[in-house]
Amino acid sequence: MDDLLIARTLFGTTMGFHIIFATIGVGLPLMILTAELLYQKTKDIDYVVMAKRWTKTFAILLGVGIPTGTIAAVQLSLLWPGFMEVIGRVMPLPFQIEIYAFFIEALFMSIYVYAADRIAPWMRIVSLTLVAIGALASAVLITNVHAFQGTPAGFRFENGEIVDVDPWAAFFNPSFYVTAKHVATSAYVVGAFVVGSVAAFKMLRSEYGTKIYKFHQKALMLTLIVGGIFAFSTAINGHESAQYLHKYQPEKLAAAEGLFETQSHAPLAIGGFTDRETQEVKWGIEIPGLLSFLAGDSFDTVVKGLNDYPEELWPPLFVHTLFNIMVGIGSLLIVISIFGVVWKKIMKKDRFPKLFLWTLVAAGPLAIIAMECGWITACSGRQPWVIYRLMSTAEASTTASNLGILIASFSFMYAILGTAVVAVLLYYFKKNKVEDDLRRAEEKYVPLYGSNS
């Protein structure tokens, strides 16, 4: 491996691990807030127990998300000094504002964790709302740097110097809004279905009709509704993303769809893999004209192919496979949500089929895989540029060598951290069972507010 590939691998390993915790850390506060809102409306203590248990999970995951995020920030400076020179002068606003977003998130989460039972209901809602806003803002602000990499704005290079700097123009770069929406909706999908995986597994392990079974069933229905809404929203946003790529990063769109020849009525390739030699998508299914329609709302839209660009500027062709995995899983999650809601709310059937529950157990990990595939597609699809058509990844990289040992060291550390966080979660919830939390909640809340559970 050359030094550039090693640097990319090292940073990619860090981000691939960190982003799991960061994404769940955005999605889970919305689930907590939704459960708390339902409790305030219905006085069903099941929902307040859900909120509190999910809060404990959030706190544990935050304990890993914060240090891995710090490692990612340090590696940005050490591995990509050329890139950070531009960011420091042109795009400092997201990093500066993110500090305040994280402060709000941490402050009001502390209030909810330690003072929820001593403050008014409306203050509990306000606290959780600010936690959710702070978590989302942190993700959107950091992701805005990625948006800037794809659609740089607010500066220009002149004789190798950075001139005409406008930080706000850089901040509100052309892909800011579409990227922010995609990050938000996909994080909420991951957060919801991770919760749903646990609820489905617990339902399989519980006796049908018991109090514990019904508790997890309520959590599962909340997952299906919230996750389904945002999975559908992510699909809609995907259409916007295709149009933005068509306009600003046509090479990435062509690579994601395995399109080599510029054409109108361009087909959408589903599945298969891209063969560089034959310049076709093998084993895929082509839907005539659909790519042109997605790119420009018309079947006559001309979509540029990879052959319009020098081969050394092509993104890696494996992004087609990763893109299809992301879209395929996203579509599956929409189908799962619709089936679950129809089964329970329309057909009025109380007991889900075991096969459906096992599918839901897999849905959480699948949602994480889809998210990872999406990020790899987004970042690798921009290659060989770190700032699109302005700075190559090689120009931005460190000149340091002998980085291979760091990949092994950090990978080993992440394996330990991943194992530790799973072990802590299992230990905590084994010691703090749902039935015990429900009993304590009944003793505390029913005398005050009553219960509809």
Q: What does pLDDT average to in each consecutive run of 10 residues of the chain (453 residues)?
A: 84 91 92 92 89 90 87 88 90 88 88 81 89 92 92 89 91 92 93 94 89 92 94 87 90 92 91 88 89 89 93 92 93 94 84 92 95 92 92 88 83 90 90 83 63 58
Q: What is the pLDDT of residue 242?
A: 86
Q: Is 428 exposed, middle or buried (0-12, 13-18, 19+ CB in 10 A)?
A: middle
**Cβ neighbours around 403 below 10 Å, total:** 18
Alpha helices in 249-353 (DSSP H): 250-257, 290-296, 319-341
Q: What is the pLDDT of residue 117?
A: 77
Contacts of 348 (CB under 8 A, 6+ apart): none
Alpha helices in 310-403 (DSSP H): 319-341, 354-380, 393-396
- Every domain of the chain and the residues it spans: 3-449
Q: What is the pLDDT of residue 408?
A: 87
**Cβ neighbours around 430 below 10 Å, total:** 8
Q: Which residue(s) pair with 162 in the sheet?
A: 157
Q: What is the pLDDT of residue 448?
A: 46
Q: What is the pLDDT of residue 1?
A: 56
**Which residue type does 305 have?**
G
Asked if residue 373 lies in contact with residue 208, where contact means CB atoms within 8 angstroms, the answer is no
Q: Is 346 exposed, middle or buried (0-12, 13-18, 19+ CB in 10 A)?
A: exposed
**Which residue type does 246 have?**
H
The residue written with tokens 């999910």 in the block is: 54
